[in-house]
Structure 1
Amino acid sequence: MAATIPVTILAGSLGAGKTTLLNHLLQHADGRDLAVLINDMGEVNVDAELVADGSELDVDDGIAELSNGCLCCELQDDLETAVVRLARSYEFDHLVVESSGISEPEPVARLFTTTSRVAARYDVDAIVTVLDTPLFIDTFAGEAVPERRTDPAAESDRPLSDLLIEQLEAADLILCNKTDRCEPAELAETDALLDALRPTAETIHTEFSAVDPDRVLGVDRFDPATDAQQNRGRRDQDRGQGQPSDQNSDHDHEADHTHRRPSEAYGVDSFVFRVRRPFPPDRFAAILRDLPAAVVRSKGTAWVAGTDMQLSLSQAGPSVRLTATGPWIATLPALERDLYRSNRPNLEWHDEFGDRQTELVVIATARDDTGEHNGFDTEIDGVESRLRARLTDGLVTETEWDRDAFAPKNSFPVEPGEETVLRRE
């Protein structure tokens, strides 16, 4: 019988640094052939595109995209099919699954331990939770042990802080990311809180998710028996039963998929803003600094006037980062442009603007940390309509198309690899 393939499951809140970690592993995991499976919230799988751009993998070769859904419920069948197909179609040493920022990692792990045709091919190596350390401190500082704010079994809407607890309680390894933004006393408190919350997990401090791959891959930290017993007992206590369930794991697996999708439970939804017209730098910067409070994450590609660079946007919480990833193909000399296009037959191309466009995925919540809201669908629709209107109003007008008019004002990156960091007001 062939050896099983180790699996690392990446979890963490929106914008914590999971995709950055994944790209780091792909670039530095010498001697390992990695396959990746990426779940992103929204109809555009931005994370899969970023990983493909940052590695030698193609989106259709070793990366299986699962977009616009939850790994643990509505895409359960797709996930199972995808990982089996990967094992059958490709040869690789290790599978890394990056779950959505609003997914719970425990049901994903159970797929690899309780589903026969998956468990026969894979073995979970570790659940790795990437922690946005400043966010964790802001949320839980001063508490003895971080706790859920609501009853997981209740029908009430749950705050995102509860999801963060779920992701940490399932972790075998916790990467405390963005430690460069924290004071030493804050890091010491974070370590103490994590030790109280998940004492069996190893904790590593990182900046920009940079870590030795040997500390993340092939660590053999996942114990399905221990984790299943702890997690079943915790769920039963949360339901007020007081005793662990004596039902078998298959029944447990089936029952757990009757819960609401994380997007419903935690009050999160997404939409895409797509347009083939650039933003003036000053107006675009003003929009980004004044994003609605309900926006917890936005990412994608931006077309900004005054530069030939394609800008990758990544916003999480108060930080907005724009990185120049390279020139738009439409701006290259004709021979080079045609060569690029021939090598990318699926590239969307406009007769006038070529590949230049803005495509942003915006993830928002209509609930505060108490779970209070007045009609989730209505509030999310309101956030979307207001932000769409502001983005549309901020585009270059018909009388502003002269590219040279914006060049002197452009404070955004103009060379590949350069970054501009803005702060939300």
Structure 2
Amino acid sequence: MNDVIPVTLLSGSLGAGKTTLVNHLLSTADDTELAVLVNDMGTVNVDAELVADGSELDIDDGVAELSNGCICCELQDDLETAVVRLARDRSFDHLVVEPSGISEPAPIAQLFTTESRVAALYDVDAIVTVLDTPLFLDQFSDTTVPERRGTDADRPLSDLLVEQVELSNVVLLNKADQCTDDELTEARSLVGGLQPTATQIETTFSAVAPDRLLGIDRFAATAIDSLPGWQRALSEEEAEHTHDHHTENHDEHTHPDEVYGVSSTTVCRHQPVSPDQFATFLRELPTGVIRAKGTVWLAGSDTRITISQAGPSITATAQGPWIASLPAVDREMYRSNRPDLPWHDEHGDRRTELVFIGTDYDETAIETELTNTFVDAAAAVPPETHPFPTEEGEETVLRAP
């Protein structure tokens, strides 16, 4: 066994086929000794029972289970303890972590890359997302099937599905047998637009050769070519203007980039938007836009707002003050620590920077309608009320499924 143990992190909605995949790997990965850590949201760890029932392992022999919570948050300490104990007490070649279907993969990956006790023992090999492909398509279609929508009343499923895909190295388009060829093509397009570098594999009952998932060394926490589609587009835009110190506003810059049939449009201006008009613009985004993400400068406000749209859901989060609004000493100290921070001579870091990713949507109309929300920074008067959050960390739902 190697000194550092490779780890595969699984993500995917409830019922997508993660447990089926785990059992498939346990029964077919003949040359690899697997340890599996599974987590369920109930008081009885159903997934662990299913894994044990589907393999030759006993529930306490190679399967460590955590119950009563999500391992990326409530049971973070328990997860750390469990994986350290596994490495200490058992000999195995590869760890597979199957979290609850409503877990985000990023915090789990961070545990294996930033926590010294764990990072010294493990190395993330890949993040694999198992998609319920028909459900995934439902989330971004004109007619959503209500009874198939949701696993978490506090958060739209489309948000979670998008984030799981965006952080993936490999995406299994599971339940492919329930889709037509056109639907599979559409699913590939959507996944490709959200995460261009992910390997896509069509599966039925999560059946895939183990060597396509294990020991593939695909995870790179900071690699630029692993960025999600939206972040890649914004990074390219920022690179163009990082060292721009002119006083004039930038006009819109659109970079249509056909990736798997999905185009992206990026808009960047050192100019504020009217809160009410911008909120209306967001709520009326066409269904062809599957993902919108970015930072917004609200007229009359010193609070930086981030926007996250995933299919039918749109949320706005207050991230704290613009650096340009801080006292001079704090502002200069922050800038000295962030020499690559995009900075405008007049407006500093205040900017509206958004990317839109979608298929079959009118890019020109998006640009025009967004342009109509911009207002003059000097003449902008803060509205008495608006639909966006004002306190740091506060989140507002602008459109719900």
What TM-score, normalized to structure 1? 0.52
Query: Is 1:172 aligned to residue 155 of structure 2?
Result: no
Give the whole-Å Cα distance in 1 for the aligned partners of 2:14 and 2:92.
28
1:161-211 Cα deviation digits (max 9, x unpaired): 111111111111000000100000010111111111110100000000000
Amino acid at match of 1:167: Q
1:214-234 Cα deviation digits (max 9, x unpaired): 001111110012279958987
- Name which of 195, 201, 219 aligns with 1:222: 219
Conservation of the 8 A alpha-carbon contact between 2:23 and 2:51: yes
Conservation of the 8 A alpha-carbon contact between 1:127 and 1:170: yes
Greater Cα offset, 225-234 or 84-93: 225-234
Give the whole-Å Cα distance in 2 for the aligned partners of 1:111 and 1:58.
27
Aligned to 2:38: 38
Conservation of the 8 A alpha-carbon contact between 2:195 and 2:227: no
Aligned to 2:195: 198
Amino acid at match of 2:38: I
Structure 1 gaps, min length 5: 144-155, 249-368, 373-425
Aligned to 1:70: 70
Query: Is 1:115 aligned to residue 115 of structure 2?
Result: yes
SS of 1:175 mapped into structure 2: strand
Conservation of the 8 A alpha-carbon contact between 1:132 and 1:176: yes
Give the whole-Å Cα distance in 2 for the aligned partners of 1:217 and 1:67.
26
Amino acid at match of 2:163: E
Aligned to 2:97: 97
1:225-272 Cα deviation digits (max 9, x unpaired): 2279958987875457699x9999xxxxxxxxxxxxxxxxxxxxxxxx
CA 1:44–1:235 in structure 2 vs 1: closer, same or farther (change >3 Å)? Answer: farther
- Name which of 178, 182, 188 aligns with 2:179: 182
Give the whole-Å Cα distance in 2 for the aligned partners of 1:198 and 1:172.
8
1:84-132 Cα deviation digits (max 9, x unpaired): 0000000000000001001001110000000001000000000000000
Aligned to 1:134: 134
Give the whole-Å Cα distance in 2 for the aligned partners of 1:228 and 1:74.
32
Tell me how large the CA RMSD over aligned residues is.
3.2
Aligned to 1:210: 207
Give the whole-Å Cα distance in 2 for the aligned partners of 1:195 and 1:176.
12
SS of 2:223 mapped into structure 1: helix
SS of 1:134 mapped into structure 2: helix
CA 1:66–1:235 in structure 2 vs 1: closer, same or farther (change >3 Å)? Answer: farther
Aligned to 1:153: none
Match runs of 1:250-261 below 5 Å: none
Structure 2 gaps, min length 5: 144-152, 236-292, 296-305, 308-316, 324-333, 339-397
Greater Cα offset, 223-232 or 119-128: 223-232
Distance apart, 1:160 and its partner CA: 1.4
CA 1:203–1:66 in structure 2 vs 1: closer, same or farther (change >3 Å)? Answer: same
Conservation of the 8 A alpha-carbon contact between 1:19 and 1:47: yes
Give the whole-Å Cα distance in 2 for the aligned partners of 1:15 and 1:35.
22
1:15-73 Cα deviation digits (max 9, x unpaired): 00000000000000011000000011111111101111111211112211111201111
Conservation of the 8 A alpha-carbon contact between 2:9 and 2:109: yes
CA 1:5–1:228 in structure 2 vs 1: closer, same or farther (change >3 Å)? Answer: farther
Aligned to 1:412: none
Conservation of the 8 A alpha-carbon contact between 2:9 and 2:96: yes
Amino acid at match of 2:206: S
Amino acid at match of 1:163: L
Conservation of the 8 A alpha-carbon contact between 2:49 and 2:59: yes
1:128-176 Cα deviation digits (max 9, x unpaired): 0000000011111379xxxxxxxxxxxx943111111111111110000
Aligned to 1:59: 59
Distance apart, 1:371 and its partner CA: 4.5
Give the whole-Å Cα distance in 2 for the aligned partners of 1:371 and 1:43.
30
Aligned to 1:86: 86
CA 1:172–1:229 in structure 2 vs 1: closer, same or farther (change >3 Å)? Answer: closer
More helix by share: 1
SS of 2:191 mapped into structure 1: helix
How many percent of aligned residue pairs carry the same amino acid? 64
Match runs of 1:13-412 below 5 Å: 13-141=13-141, 157-226=154-223, 230=227, 237-238=306-307, 239=317, 371=400
Residue correspondences, number: 240
Give the whole-Å Cα distance in 1 for the aligned partners of 2:44 and 2:225.
34
1:312-350 Cα deviation digits (max 9, x unpaired): xxxxxxxxxxxxxxxxxxxxxxxxxxxxxxxxxxxxxxx
Conservation of the 8 A alpha-carbon contact between 1:113 and 1:124: yes
